[in-house]
Chains A and B, each alone.
Chain A
Amino acid sequence: MSEPLLRVRDLQVEFRLSGGTLRAVDSASFEVGRGETLGLVGESGSGKTVALRAVVGLLPRTARITAGTVEIDGTDVTAAGEDRRRALRGTTVAMIFQEPMTALNPVMRVGDQIAEEPMVRLGQTRRNARTTALELMRLVGIPDPRRRADAYPHELSGGLRQRVMIAIALSGNPKLLLCDEPTTALDVTIQDQILKLLQRLQHELGLALVFVSHDLAVIAQTCQRLAVMYAGQVVETGAVADVFREPRHPYTLGLLRSVPDFDVVRAQLAAIGGAPPDLAAPPHGCRFHPRCPFVQNDCLDGGIPLFDVGPGRAARCLHHDEAAADARREPVIANA
């Protein structure tokens, strides 16, 4: 069993606010092996974006990693200095973002932006870097690369901008690609194109992928494994097919039931009552218990650890059988 490319253990991230500190991520653990794809699923406030940014060291100044470790390709980046982290960024691990318009430099031609990393970090000459950039543009499916390389970001459509961003991310030959909701702001057909592009790239280049999204269907299409986050904690992990067929955490179950599925038309969508907790004052015991249909007395004492519930599966629930039984009774997916 080879060393995982990314190993996050008990990660804790806190924000310093005017009123006190807010723990946005509380003991999150997940792993990604070489060439594997992991989905990080959660709604707003779940901490998934913060966790992702913590991995690559792109937290805002008010936030700090207060506990846990992040290992990328064997290096402990939480203990290492900023220089080490910067060396890894772009070369070993790269990131693509949700809003290409803000992630791209508006006053630099896109060809130059793609060529920047090869020129500066990999030491290529200007001409070689330019060739590399054109190749990358072809790789990501940008039509007519020679002409498009001279365009500015605002002259391109949303889909093309996203492809440019992917090209930039790939320009340093990374092994791990972190994707922060890269298709959320895109139209369905463009999202489809980008997801299929990522799939193809992942195959051809052997990339490992961490894909953050709130869209379960997108995760289903893109990832082999997933980690579900709620209120700053990882509450369930496992292979996507297994988790969808037999979710072991009531939140995962509720989420699966509340999503309007294309193929299964349910009479009424089962919503999860209540609202996500205020992270400044999370509930005692299990954070999901106020909204949980299977809640029992012991759910209120103390923190709930992640239990092993099968090979490669874990769930942060004392009564994880309940969720699984409910899913068996009334399957969530048509033919998982």
Chain B
Amino acid sequence: MAVAAEAVADAQVFEHRRGFARRWYRTPSFVGGVSILGLIVLAALAAPLITNHGPTSQDLLHTLQGPSSSHWLGTDDLGRDVWSRLVYGARTDLKVAFLAVLFPFAIGTLLGLVSGYYGGWIDAAVNWLVNVVVAFPFYVLIIALVFALGSGTRNIYIAITIVGWVSYTRIIRGEVLVAKRRDYVLAAKSGGLSDARILFRHLLPNVVTQAIVFACSDIVLDILAIVTLGYLGLGVQPPTPDWGRMIADGQTYLTTHWELSTVPGIAVVFTALGLSLLADGLADLLRPE
């Protein structure tokens, strides 16, 4: 009878904290990150619409020209439109970086889940592997791997995956070690739910946010890696436009036409800035309460 009375009084379920959907526009870092990134992504997607020359079409009669109405940022040593190469380069680099993050994210998260939850020899084995990979500096290992495997986008993915899964595993494993002691996980266990269900339905959604935030800053690292590889001639192969390549190609003309190297460099910085702000903003917003 007391229970019934409370049912009436308690009928209202009160809404007391706004979720993600209502808070995002109030987080400056998130808004900043999305704006900058959004601009770059939009430009990359709209590439054909905002350029009037192809990125690879050479014009040997008009090499190394300064900005003009026809070529907004001038031309490079082969007469190619710098603006167009910049925008199409964004397409290439962003796409590669995004895909390159996906594999380490997936593999690393899975390994982190399993090793954190089960412990024992699985955990010991994974930890050992982590320590081995982590012993090498990130860039050195990637460059060495691409050098060994040969250049090209496919090998970039392979190299980055081999090196990059480690961070995700560590993050996820750490979160799982804490989360698996939470009462709701214990409740799921005592309720007889399968391990798979617990891992993917109870643990994963509650531990993955840190990994997502890290992924955003990881993309920055990957973009830098790809650009570095391009600069070294090991990454994306010509004629596909790539910021790294552009920086390398423009190096010879640093004293006369500094914009050839600097402009793509600034583009990299901007993209990195946008991604970092986004990572910051997401970290704030994705906290469950």
Contact = CB atoms under 8 A, between A and B. Distances in A.
- Are A and B in direct contact (Cβ within 8 Å)? yes
Interface of A: 18, 268, 270-271, 273-275, 278, 290-291
B26 interface: yes
B23 to A, nearest CB: 9
Contacts of B16: 278
A278 B26 CA distance: 23
Contact of B2 (A18, A270, A290, A291): A270
Contacts of B5: 273
A278 B6 CA distance: 18
A18 B9 contact: no
A275 B9 CA distance: 8
Given A268-B2, A270-B2, A291 B14 contact: no
A273 B14 contact: no
**For the complex, would chain A's binding face be called helix, strand, loop or mixed by DSSP majority?**
loop
10 contacts: A273-B6, A273-B8, A273-B10, A274-B9, A274-B10, A275-B9, A275-B10, A278-B14, A278-B16, A291-B9
B14 A18 contact: no
Interface residues of B, number: 9
A273 B11 CA distance: 11
B153 to A, nearest CB: 45
A20 to B, nearest CB: 13
A291 B8 CA distance: 11
Interface in B1-54: 2, 5-6, 8-10, 14, 16, 26
A187 to B, nearest CB: 21
Given A273-B6, A275-B10, 14 more contacts: A18-B26, A270-B2, A271-B6, A273-B5, A273-B8, A273-B9, A273-B10, A274-B6, A274-B10, A275-B9, A275-B14, A278-B14, A290-B9, A291-B9
A246 B7 CA distance: 30
Identify which of A268, A270, A275 gathers the most chain B CB atoms within 10 Å of its CB: A275
Nearest to B5: A273
Interface string B193-235: 0000000000000000000000000000000000000000000
Contacts of B2: 268, 270-271
A311 to B, nearest CB: 36
A320 to B, nearest CB: 23
B9 to A, nearest CB: 4
B70 to A, nearest CB: 50
